[in-house]
Structure 1
């Protein structure tokens, strides 16, 4: 039977295997992965620098990266243009070549063993070709997939040199070892592994009186490491000139770093050891990041894992044989990076060095099981039984991984979000439509590298120097950029989608241009045209000079001890300071003070709109949650707002409060149930904004207040239809009614503005009170104290 397999294996099955490998790496490559991950994009931006003549052996951005991958991506850009496929084509090619070289490595490695002439090399290549892990990294435009490729090339040349007793092949292995160092940090361990193997093999065979590899090929080993060292010289010179670069990336995640070791580096390392080992076998313990895996999915399926254990047992029983020893040492030594880098546990990318050696374990196990099946089959069925035992586990492995990758992972919301599908969709939409007005992009990362690569095509060294005046970047979860008079296009990605209620309040009239669904069915990208935004709830009592300046505000809810007040601020910004970094922003401080001006709650942090986007006259709305101390008195409060920026004047927000000096009128204009009396009401259009009504009110309680009530003010047109409203806790939420002193007048001021497009004419102001918990309104009483209606109505003429 072995002769049959040897006779039939060389071309047909290998060609079929490469077709399958290509299908796994090219099927739906335009849609899966669904976007472009930031690390892929940064390598692409570096590749644009290569094309601009600014390449190097090492690229310091993003914690520093070895540079050969960027040159391959640059070549791919020349062939295919700047797009997602071009970023990933080098990885696709590397993955396919690795599959082929795994077969040839197995042929050389297993010579002169009892596995020579068996289908083990083909099986190992088959498991690699259909591995979720290797397939994913073959479709992922990052450097890691080149470690298995160059490692396989180096080990193939090494064993070919040993088998042929030819030092030139060993020198070729040195070339591959040296080139490997220009791809990925984990590759630095490959020469170490090979050296350790040679030393261990020398010790084992030396004790048994047998010639070792080192003893038989000292010149070839010296040539191998000598050539590897020569190839490494340019990168070594860079590290000498920039010593911090050699360890910059590794030091951030190293187990000795207190920021990641939880105060116990030894325990953390042991935890990483067990977790990274178990991730190969146990469901639920695989890498949990959508970037690299279907969260929790183990490397091996159940069948493959069982066969791998059989293969390992077979090798352990023969561990003194140099070629089996090589396979046994490959996995634990190349797993060392996963034990030393502990910021993520487990972490599949750091274990890439074990490929493709890892898949020789199930291949050997499958061959042992197949031989056992063959020995128990009838002569008539022996051939079929053997082929079924070999092909069955591999077909099962391929089927399971196809479904896991292309269905479970590729069509998932998690993968879409991990690969920044919304930002990529925004770049493509803008390229297709080229809008004639400003485009506002909401994203979780400022000037997202995926967008900058696909839309701007700007090299990394010019990332913050080149600026498209048609674009503005903001994060709608923290701030909203309001449209200019000519309107704007809003691109709202699901990574930075604002609260829907707040969005409708700030931009009440939005014309949808595109709603792109994510795989989970939720909007992945929403595109709107907005001509006008809603006016600020309050504008009075603010400093009117200087830029940037506060031009409006609003407070959502009510300020109470132990509670949280949401302060909305409307800013008009200036041009940025000349010496400001585009990624920086000024500091904003918001202080809630009691009546004695004692701070009772403070929010401080960076202004959520970076200097790089500032243009004089732009209006930005920000919102901030300010926690009020449990020991604070119950109102009234004042809000003090300050921005750490030249020319910014501090603002105090207090549109009312106790008015003990207010003279009581002889006739009470109106009284509501619960003892609420209206003492005075004045209405006027706002100066400079005739579409806005300012209503000044004075109230008092004639009996002890029982609860906090909400004041409503509705603006009605001549047909009695509601066109605008302002529902608020008194004094902008800073003085709830249950905090009012009995019988003492309280001033309040409410503003309401006509919405965009409303006509001039006669309008009615309707105001009253309700219990915000139940929605029940207070009654307006007549002179006899009987309920009449639930509101006061006054007429006003507005001319927007």
Structure 2
């Protein structure tokens, strides 16, 4: 799989992705004030926390019956409501903008790792995905997960070597700073950030293990990104030690009591068969994707496995396999909101599989 394709130039792909963004915006903004009607109990709690932030009550964790909630999403939502006002649209606009921004990032990621066709196909799949559309209309930190995963993967791809070329290139300190900032801020956004950080660290370790020439050239920059992550996440780590009952790790372990194999099986089956029954996340029972798209995703995964010796394919595999437990091992599996953590990877696998047919 080579960079670029005669059937689609970069200019053509940018035109198509603009069309996709407009379509995605239409699907996500149509009757935004009334669809869905009102707010769920979980959204009402988040709205109250947004109001607390606007009053100056900003914390790493907010106590909750389920253990706690990270506060970064509520800070961002409070900032947005201060600009556009409150009300149904005001509270939902944060998730909407994060969703549209994620689409642009997913296209850029697919284009950077592979070619414009893969990027356009990946963005197109997410643009019309029912679960992604509904999540963009909810007041929930789950809506930030798509952005966090896709942006982190793009930062990894831009800062660390993803090709086998050994020529010396100028390292971009901005990319490494973005990588460290995203990994650090992620702790304050969502519990699944633990898996995202683990995936990033494993990819770096893989490059060091195979003695990649370019990673040795960028070792100091990589250390800078890790140091920046540690500095940003230090308040989170201290709060987790002082208040372990609110930490992400404790909540992930303590609030799961379903059968492990059953949860994994239900989650995998939901991809192409019986989907999430929660109307907040999905049209009840609708699978995440259709069977044909699922087959193309599987094809993309197989291609990545066969070409795992190439860094860009290994990046996709590591970030998918490491974050997969966060998507499958959840209460009331399948949970499409939590499966957002693997949506960018699945979308790019779809693009790779489709591209293989051309």
Cα separation, 2, equivalents of 1:33 and 1:154? 30
Instruction: Name the structure, 1 or 2, with higher relative contact order (CA <8 Å, separation 6+).
Output: 2
Aligned to 2:57: 54
Displacement after TM superposition at 1:174 (Å): 0.8
Whole-angstrom CA distance in 1 between matches of 2:60 and 2:190:
12
Alignment match, 1:179: 185
Match of 1:5 among 4, 8, 22: 8
Identify the structure with the greater strand proportion: 1
* Corresponding residue of 1:349: 337
> 1:487 maps to which residue?
none
Alignment match of 1:333 (pick from 313, 322, 334): 322
Return closer, same or farther for 1:46/1:359 CA change in 2, 3 Å cut-off.
same
- Aligned partners of 2:11 and 2:77: how far apart in 1? 38
The residue that corresponds to 1:217 in the other structure is 218
Q: For residue 153 of structure 2, what is the aligned residue in structure 1?
A: 155
Separation in 1, partners of 2:319, 2:89: 33
Please give the alpha-carbon distance, in whole angstroms, between the structure 2 residues aligned to 1:42 and 1:16.
Answer: 36
Match of 1:304 among 277, 293, 305: 293
Corresponding residue number in structure 1 for 2:206: 200
Question: Which of structures 1 and 2 has the bigger CA Rg?
Answer: 1
CA contact (8 A) 1:73 1:87 kept: yes
Query: Residues 338, 22 of structure 1: CA spacing in aligned structure 2 closer, same or farther, 3 A cutoff?
Result: closer
In structure 2, the partner of 1:107 is 111
Determine the C-alpha separation between the residues in 1 that align with 2:31 and 2:104. Answer: 22
The CA distance in 2 between the partners of 1:309 and 1:166, in whole Å, is: 34
Structure 1 counterpart SS, 2:281: coil
Alignment partner for residue 137 of structure 1, among 130, 135, 138?
135
1:339 deviates by 4.7
Q: 1:166 aligns with which of 167, 171, 187?
A: 171
Q: Which runs of 5+ in 1 are unaligned?
A: 111-115, 255-259, 262-267, 372-800
Corresponding residue for residue 196 of structure 2: 190
- How far, CA to CA, are the matches of 1:293 and 1:10 in structure 2? 29
Alignment length, in residue pairs?
345
**Distance across 2 between alignment mates of 1:7 and 1:223:** 32
Is 1:323 paired with 2:306?
no
Query: Against the structure 1 CA distance between its residues 149 and 7, is the aligned structure 2 distance closer, same or farther, given a 3 Å change threshold?
Result: closer
In the other structure, the counterpart of 1:274 is: 265
Check whether the contact 1:272–1:338 (CA below 8 A) recurs between aligned residues. Answer: no
Q: Name the CA distance, whole Å, in 1 between partners of 2:295 and 2:147.
A: 26
2:90 to 79, 86, 89: 86
Q: Is the CA contact 2:109–2:154 (under 8 Å) kept in the aligned structure 1?
A: yes
Name the residue aligned to 1:17: 20
Specify the alignment match of 2:346 in structure 1.
358
Partner of 2:39: 36
Residue 96 of structure 1 deviates from its aligned partner by 0.3
Partner of 1:367: 355
- The superposition leaves residues 450-484 of structure 1 with CA deviations (integer Å, 9 ceiling, x where unpaired) of xxxxxxxxxxxxxxxxxxxxxxxxxxxxxxxxxxx
Contact 1:270 1:339 in 2 (8 A): no
**TM-score normalised per structure 2:** 0.89
Matches of 1:107 and 1:6 in 2, distance apart? 11
1:3 partner SS: coil
Q: Equivalent residues in 2 for 1:448-463 (5 A)? A: none
Distance 1:194 1:93, change over 3 A: same
Per-residue CA deviations over 1:26-80 (Å, capped at 9, x if unaligned) read 1111221122111111111111111212222221134311101111222233233
Q: Please name the residue that 1:453 is paired with.
A: none
Looking at structure 2, the residues matched to 182 and 277 of structure 1 have their Cα atoms a distance apart, in angstroms, of: 28
The Cα of 1:232 is off from its aligned counterpart by 0.8
1:709-728 maps to which residues of 2 (within 5 A)?
none
Contact 1:67 1:182 in 2 (8 A): yes
Instruction: Report what 2:122 is aligned to.
Output: 124
Is contact 1:276-1:345 (8 Å) kept? yes
Is the contact between residue 202 and residue 213 of structure 1 (CA under 8 Å) also seen in structure 2?
no
Q: Quick check: 2:13–2:117 contact (8 Å CA) kept in 1? A: no
Give the match for residue 501 of structure 1: none
Residue 100 of structure 2 is matched in structure 1 by: 96
Q: Quick one: which of 278, 282, 289 aligns to 2:278?
A: 289
Q: Distance in 2 between matches of 1:80 and 1:6?
A: 38
TM normalised by structure 1 equals: 0.41
Give the aligned partner of residue 691 of structure 1.
Answer: none
